[in-house]
Amino acid sequence: MKQERHLPKPRELAQLMRFKSFEFDGRARRLAKAHTIAELRAIAKRRTPQGAFDYTDGAAEAELSLARARQAFRDIEFHPAILRDVSNVDTSVEIFGGRSALPFGIAPTGFTRMMQSEGERAGASAAGAAGIPFSLSTVGTTSPEGVREANPQGRNWFQLYMQKDRDKSMSLVQRAADCGFDTLLVTVDVPVAGARLRDNRNGFTIPPQLTPSTVLNAIPRPEWWINFLTTEPLTFASLSQWDGTIGELLNELFDPTITFDDLAWIRDQWPGKVAVKGIQTVTDAKAVADMGVDGIVLSNHGGRQLDRAPIPFHLLPAVRAELGNDVEIVLDTGIMSGADIVAALAMGADFTLIGRAYLYGLMAGGREGVDRTIAILTSEITRTMKLLGVASVDELNPGHVTQLQRLSPIAREQRPAATSQATTPGRTVTQKRKAASAAVVSSVANPRRSKP
């Protein structure tokens, strides 16, 4: 069909030519282009020296645990309900005796000022502004007093690695309590440091050393080095100084002899809520719950300790079914979007923690970058909840999500039997293993249980 044509009139062109005003603030301009956590990560990688970026981005050995944890969130199917009033969505939750405006908080991260000079102060102040908890690590680069100063009215949590010098450890715990920190996260999955091969290959040390390779790597990233060299030197609440790799430091500091008795003793020293971080089996979840702790954090340490560790998101339904509603369950590892957080809540988590997602924002743009991380996740959470047809976090339940699992365990009786013929009193090793296998239920349960 023939169309009539005419030259556009100036006023018609003027309506189309509406240009945005130029943003002179380079940081704001850069962050505005990031619409996902993955895009913040790409900005962070461009602006951060390789050693610091890889320390954040990497995991243990072949990094299978991290990849699997992220894939588990990709492998979900949502089931939306229609014709629900979702004009207003309530994203707030109760966790460990207090309110959080959003169903996630900032996880404890070590050596944070090596990622970006504003470090924990940026994270704490951003968390306070957003109304969510901030967690300080034992190996953080800001003191408990500094975090309180950055987030004086918000909720601050302290994460404890028990050190060989227990007096020093408990001195830190006492300082956190004196600063009004309301929750203690006792991390139990680091008897020794994981093999973080990226750090070894980069020769990454504390503090970062100026070598020919780091100088070359710094040339396109002058802002990071200027900030690092012109701000206060790195200090750690847990040690006065160190000159070596991070793995060597962790092995030097942390006590591999910690037992359940020690955990009970630590619990009794803390005046507030206590949660155990690093739970990776249903059995251990039940054991610490029976001790009377307030919560657990299902976590494989972001894949940074035991490679091929259990996937926390896959473990979640079984742990919720075992514990019921008596103990609060927090989940971390693998979260890269608000949809991941919504899925975790639907499958039984009371709360989630973000580590790398927060650090990507920090490296991309300091305090404003952390704000951008929180804004992206908030938008994604709100939109996902509305599309699912739920107006509050309490309405989320397992019926909203199906976990599509790629890695299904082989039934134990189908696994090849050991071929060793070494003998033990009465039976061979092979016979004993077969007998043990016969006593184990071969199917893997994945129950669904609604939250209260």
Positions of E strands within 167-209: 183-187, 205-206
Tell me how far apart the alpha carbons of residues 403 and 107 are, in angstroms, rounded to a whole number: 24
* Residue 264 resides in a domain: yes
- 89: tokens are 């969505």
pLDDT (0 to 100) of residue 82: 95
pLDDT range class, residue 255, cuts 50, 70, 90? confident
Structural domain of residue 103, as residue ranges? 39-399
What integer best gives the mean pLDDT of the chain? 87
Residue 420 has pLDDT above 70, yes or no: no
Q: pLDDT tens digits for 314-352?
A: 999 999 999 999 899 999 999 999 999 999 999 999 999
Domain count, the chain: 1
* Residue 278 resides in a domain: yes
pLDDT range class, residue 245, cuts 50, 70, 90? low
pLDDT range class, residue 259, cuts 50, 70, 90? very high
- 452: tokens are 């209260």
Q: pLDDT tens digits for 224-244?
A: 888 888 888 877 655 555 556
Q: pLDDT tens digits for 124-156?
A: 999 999 999 999 999 899 999 999 999 999 999
Q: Is 400 a catalytic residue?
A: no
* Residue 437 resides in a domain: no
* Residue 313 resides in a domain: yes
What count of other Cβ atoms lies within 10 Å of the Cβ of residue 1?
2
What count of other Cβ atoms lies within 10 Å of the Cβ of residue 241?
10
Choice among 6, 79, 301, 314 that is catalytic: 301
Residue 269 has pLDDT above 50, yes or no: yes
Cα distances (Å, whole numbers) of residue 46 to 29, 49, 59, 184, 223: 15, 8, 19, 35, 11
Bridge partners of 342?
Answer: none
* Residue 150 resides in a domain: yes
Tell me how far apart the alpha carbons of residues 255 and 238 are, in angstroms, rounded to a whole number: 13
CB distance 109 to 137 below 8 Å: yes
Q: pLDDT tens digits for 296-308?
A: 999 999 999 999 9
What are the helix (H) ranges across 33-143? 37-47, 50-57, 64-74, 112-115, 119-130
pLDDT (0 to 100) of residue 432: 36
Tell me how far apart the alpha carbons of residues 303 and 66 are, in angstroms, rounded to a whole number: 5
CATH no. for residue 279? 3.20.20.70
* Residue 445 resides in a domain: no
* Residue 435 resides in a domain: no
CB distance 325 to 305 below 8 Å: no
pTM given for the model = 0.87
- 375: tokens are 């804004």
Cα distances (Å, whole numbers) of residue 373 to 88, 343, 344, 359: 22, 18, 18, 9
Q: pLDDT tens digits for 167-176?
A: 888 999 999 9
pLDDT (0 to 100) of residue 203: 78
* Residue 87 resides in a domain: yes
